[in-house]
Amino acid sequence: MMIEFMTSIALFVSTLLMVPLTTAQLEDFTQLAGNDPKHALKLYPEYLAKLDEQHVEMQVALHLDALLAAMNAHSWPAFVTITQSLKEAQLQDILAGKRFKLLTRMGVAYRYNNQLEQAKRHYQCALGLANSDLELATLKVNLAIVFRLLEQPAMAFQLIDSIDSGQLTTRVKAGYSVIRGNILQSLHRFDNAVTSFELAHRLYIELNNQQSRIDVTRNILGAALASKQLEAYAKYRASYVDEIRQYSPKSQDYLTWLDIISNSMQTGSLTEQDEIFLRQQVNSLIELGYKEPVKAHLHNINAMHLYPNDVTGRKGAQALPENLGKPWCPSL
């Protein structure tokens, strides 16, 4: 009887494993890839085992969502492994219509690793593959980010300025406005940057996205001081009194930096203790991406002697092999 019982359990488990993947499960997996990517990666091999050669479209969809999960989890070995799986011959007919999604996700992954030239090349491969104005606009935003990070702000602005923001959803328009503001800062157009950041601030309030609202307020504060808008700085800084605790220590250091700059601009002086703090923080703030406002702040208080002579660009971790998208973009 015991042998029969154990055999029955084995057959039951085997039957469970053969239950095909449902559309609902695949939809849930798509959500997990964005919201809980590590869990999605754990489910990925189990779900893939449930798909046979008759479910090629679902295989492609699962691979692409798993690629998104690996990107969001910064699991680069998994990202490379999934990319290799996508090279299977039986997937190519379906994948031909998904090249935009594939190449843009590769571009984002390279950008996350500061492999900026690779990100640029993969985004450029996708430019002619967009299926809608919204897809093209989103791609241009991503490409503009890369050009800014490559210290080519004029090219970045040309791209971002070619987008009809009226066609964007509120959520996308908010992100677009933040990126536009960052590019304007790179061009030292701090007044215009404040305007762009303020638009994003209003949109995040409309979306009830409190964390993004708080994040963009920090951008407003930096650009306001860079453009000598002390009233605007005071207005937005006052709302931060109860929100500083939501920041990491590095962000708190930037707020301290901003308060010192604001005080110095108003008094026309800088204490020895404050100068020591600025000197200690300047390199780390530049590394965090505040190069243009930090330089403008020091200029505004006649403290350019604190700005380092040699500012190096961001270095990539080289976590990903080059030209991962070549099978789907021969020009790489």
Per-residue pLDDT of the chain (332 residues; tens, 9 = 90+): 434 433 443 444 444 445 688 889 999 999 999 989 999 999 999 999 998 877 899 999 999 999 999 999 999 999 999 999 999 999 999 999 999 999 999 999 999 999 999 999 999 999 989 999 889 999 999 999 999 999 999 999 999 999 998 888 999 999 999 999 999 999 999 999 999 999 999 999 999 998 889 889 999 999 999 999 999 999 999 877 666 666 555 578 899 999 999 999 999 999 999 999 999 999 999 988 899 999 999 999 999 999 998 776 565 566 899 999 999 999 99
- Nearest Cα residue to 301 out of 263, 273, 330, 329: 263
Which pLDDT score is estimated for 246?
Answer: 62
- 192-to-178, 188, 203, 223, 233 alpha-carbon distances in Å: 12, 9, 17, 9, 15
Token pair listed for 306: 């604190």
Residue 74 φ/ψ region, left for φ over 0, alpha for ψ in the -120 to 50 degree band, beta for the rest: left
273 and 264 in contact (C-beta within 8 Å)?
no
pTM, 2 dp: 0.83
Spatial neighbors of 86 by CB under 8 A, at least 6 apart, are: 60, 63, 64, 67, 95, 102
Token pair listed for 94: 């379906």
Which pLDDT score is estimated for 14?
Answer: 45
Q: CA-to-CA distance for 1 and 18, rounded, in angstroms?
A: 26
